[in-house]
Structure 1
């Protein structure tokens, strides 16, 4: 009995300690790292969030490597980075094909070098009732939103582990924190991406690779064209630039989880103290969600 009481007291003191650390962080801005001349690789950089992340890293002086399946939009992003005085390299890559990922990764290493910041941003969303989704839609959603993270990390992590430095960024979603109707496949893929990043972070710490960081980004609905009719009575639809700026800031300060908007961090902390039925009810009141937008022959990508 005394042993149990001692453990509870220890946990209580530990909780107070970490709460004090969080409060300290609020009033003591973290040191921002310098990414000048750092090789940064971003997937899905042809438009939306990926494009804005690429532009921001370009402005910070990084050497930006951008991947996308759409050559014209990817090249346009690279050209804009160059016009702004930055350095960019454009590669076409189909993230649903592991051979294509390996071949393109080899090409990047030969022509530019090893990226030490990897941003797994590319994503796809269909948006419709589960029973109306075709197998191809579901498989493609997981191939891009989740499985591609495994293959890019397997390609670029070895150099990071060898030098014990680097950063792996996962663009997830608030749908990874709370499943959403008509986004069953998308929410599931983002839950998986979130779990991937969390487990990877623990694995890196267990391996003693304290110089390799992970950042997971969880934004609310973003105006990228993926969702045709997003709903959120309590908030507003985010712009890709807002999410990109929060993402890059999270990388520069080694923040493990980035919520966009920031108030979601407070809301997620509070939600842990409330009954699940209450959380569902408040979500219903806020009207967060989408209208079905299933289109049988169209894939929408970042």
Structure 2
């Protein structure tokens, strides 16, 4: 999908690029691909062992990578990380906010602790990352921030009500930031923003997908999703969905009356079954 005022030509990625949640799954897959393209990868995760494995995998492919441990829910820790990375690696010009969790169970079975932790990671982690790394981008009028939302940030799904809310929030954060930069009297046209809306990806986050028509809607392979994200970064797309056609399908879905939209939801049978049963 392409919804962008920017050039569709491929950009070089031989810059310093920080990714959160690189210990496994999507974060690791994207980090490996960008490392192969010549980027210096700053790998950030709360799990040191897994993160070190990602750094080593990049280095085995002759890439440049540095590993840092950080709890993205801790604003002070994120700011300390930004200062440390600048001293030890250099100025980060591309930031990928990827860290996230997804408790999957009916809303009344989700605990306060689960919901607060998820919002701290999925929402506050994005905000703290932007606040910590955007100033250097503004100073140079150069940079790129990519944030992972979800198709659950465009439509509601059962058993992940709080998660949907957190991913709608990421969408709103990125849209509002784009407007704020655009309306600033200074020229910040060199700063690009990309929001990514993946559907269910087999990274382990989505444990029990429930899909009636798997040929129409299926769980996306991690490699396929990572390739799409890297392509979006290089083309500086404003928004992408994975698979691409889901973004447009959702636009059509939004035109329907609520009663008709719910009939479509029933027909397609999309959703997730609870993890705790």
Q: TM-score range by the shorter chain?
A: over 0.9
Q: 1:82 matched to which residue of 2?
A: 59
SS of 1:128's equivalent in the other structure is: coil
Matched, 1:263 2:245: yes
> What is aligned with 2:228?
246
TM-score (norm 2): 0.93
Report the CA distance between 1:201 and its aligned residue.
1.1
Please name the residue that 2:112 is paired with.
135
How many residues matched? 270
SS of equivalent residue, structure 1 residue 181? coil
How do 1:205-284 residues align onto structure 2 when only pairs under 5 Å count? 205-207=182-184, 208-234=187-213, 235-284=217-266
Q: 1:199 to 1:83 in 2, by over 3 A?
A: same
RMSD (Å), alpha carbons: 1.9
Tell me what 2:128 maps to: 151
Which secondary structure does the structure 1 equivalent of 2:212 belong to? coil
Check whether the contact 2:198–2:225 (CA below 8 A) recurs between aligned residues. Answer: yes
> Is it true that 1:104 corresponds to 2:81 in the alignment?
yes
Deviations for 1:200-240, whole angstroms, at most 9, x for unmatched residues?
A: 11111112311101111001111111222112223210122
The runs of at least 4 consecutive aligned structure 1 residues that moved more than 3 Å come to 23-26
TM-score (norm 1): 0.85
| Aligned CA distance change for structure 1 residues 119 and 24 (closer, same or farther; 3 Å) | closer
Rounded to whole Å, the distance in 2 between the matches of 1:204 and 1:155 is 16
Name the structure 2 match of 1:10.
Answer: none
Query: CA shift at 1:73, angstroms?
Result: 0.7
**CA–CA distance in structure 2, aligned partners of residues 142 and 214 of structure 1:** 21
* 1:57 to 2:34 alignment: yes
CA distance in 2, matches of 1:288, 1:155: 37
Unpaired runs of at least 5, structure 2: none
Tell me how far apart the structure 1 counterparts of residues 109 and 250 of structure 2 sit (CA, whole Å). 31
Q: Deviations over 1:117-159 (max 9, x none)?
A: 0000000111112112111111100000011111111111011
1:25 shift after superposition: 8.8
In structure 1, the residue matched to 2:10 is 32
2:181: which partner in 1?
204
Are positions 1:47 and 2:24 aligned together? Answer: yes
Change (3 A) 1:294 1:105: farther
Q: Comparing 166-175 with 92-101, which one deviates more in the overlay?
A: 92-101
CA contact (8 A) 1:126 1:294 kept: no
Q: How many Å separate the matches in 2 of 1:124 and 1:179?
A: 17
SS in 2 for 1:32: coil
- Please give the secondary structure, in 2, of the residue aligned with 1:102: helix
Higher relative contact order (CA 8 A, sep 6+): 2
Q: Measured at CA, do residues 262 and 123 of structure 1 come closer, stay the same or move farther in structure 2, by a change above 3 Å?
A: same
Helix, strand or coil: the match of 1:124?
Answer: coil
Give structure 1 stretches of 5+ with no counterpart.
1-22, 296-302
Give the corresponding residue for 1:18: none
Deviation at 1:197, TM superposition (A): 0.7
